[in-house]
Amino acid sequence: MTASTSELYGVILAAGKGSRMARLPTALPKCVLPVLDRPILAHQLDLLAALGIRQVYIVVGHRGFEIVREIERLPACGLKIEYVEQRETLGIAHCLGGLEPLLDRPFLLMLGDIFLRRPRLAEMLERFDSGKVDAVLSAVHEEHDEALCRNFCIVEGNDGFVRRVVEKPRHPPTRLKGVGAYLFTPVIFDAVRRTPRTAMRDEYEITDSIQILINDGYRVRIAQCVDGDVNLTVPADLLDINLDALRDHGQLNLISPSAEVSPQARLSSAIVGDGATVEAGAELSECVVFPAARVSGNARLRRAIVTCDGVCTV
């Protein structure tokens, strides 16, 4: 069996609370906030389906019913989706450990609050199938120290295998930054069970599990298979993700076919969601309008997110 077959599982972790998104006037968890009028999770499910994956586990926690409702509204994409509830949020490794009884074959793990720019995840499978490899980490070359210090660095050996992963380094040893997609075999669970709780964040870090895997002699490689990634943390991230995606698609605006936008409204770099209304006279520049939201004719908005419950300017 190779990881390129339909036997590969998909896993998406979507149990985080997203407390720093509180300024955004919506009850939606951040993993189902809209990017180009579709939940972030929908984009991830599309990626998994395109790889030939058929079974996906989505881990939910805080307001999990909202996540299930939004996903079940989506058109069928050929995936069998099962939801797993996580009652405690103690880090990625802790969350993954709860799935051990379900995952008896290789699986692709994605983080539900990370949006990948121009992903090519098939390269992870190619790297996995090219030789005996126990894990593949998606990575991107990152020039900005700030971004490296917020994530994790990857140190490769001369043989092309990963020698070290460094969580949130103060002094990044390389420019290789890990992003939110991992390909594992079930041997990762041996490492997860021995992963210590960190002193700084009081969590079980997946990078510690990966380092244990490496120290045990297992082979880990990287795939530079994205052009970039954004960890959705604050409202400005959501806006920037949408604007970047709009540019990547070569569009000036994106208006849902079911939205009602007056010909007398002025839009520039705007995304208007399903069933939304933009009245005559409104002016929107670099804005996201949520599904079913309404923009009045006297609105003059720049770099704003409009939800059914209010407006957040970022």
The CATH number given to whatever domain includes residue 44 is 3.90.550.10
String of DSSP letters for 216-229: TT--EEEE---SEE
> Which residue, of 178, 197, 231, is where some domain finishes?
231
Residue 302, C-beta contacts closer than 8 angstroms, at least 6 positions apart: 284, 285, 286, 287, 313
pTM score: 0.92
> Is the same domain home to 309 and 179?
no
Model confidence at 147: pLDDT above 60: yes
Residue 281 lies in a domain: yes
> Which 3 state secondary structure label does DSSP give 173?
coil
Residue 3: the pLDDT is 52
C-alpha torsion sign, points 49, 53, 55, 61: negative
Residue 86: the pLDDT is 83
Number of domains in the chain: 2
Which residue range is the domain that position 171 belongs to?
A: 9-231
> 263: pLDDT confidence band, cut at 50, 70 and 90?
very high
> Is the same domain home to 97 and 137?
yes
> Is the same domain home to 102 and 33?
yes
Residue 213: the pLDDT is 97
> Is the same domain home to 142 and 288?
no
Query: Per DSSP, what are the bridge partners of residue 107?
Result: 9, 184
Tell me phi and psi for residue 53, to 5 degrees: -70, 140
> 4: pLDDT confidence band, cut at 50, 70 and 90?
very low
> Is the same domain home to 36 and 81?
yes
Lowest mean pLDDT among 3-17, 67-81, 208-222: 3-17
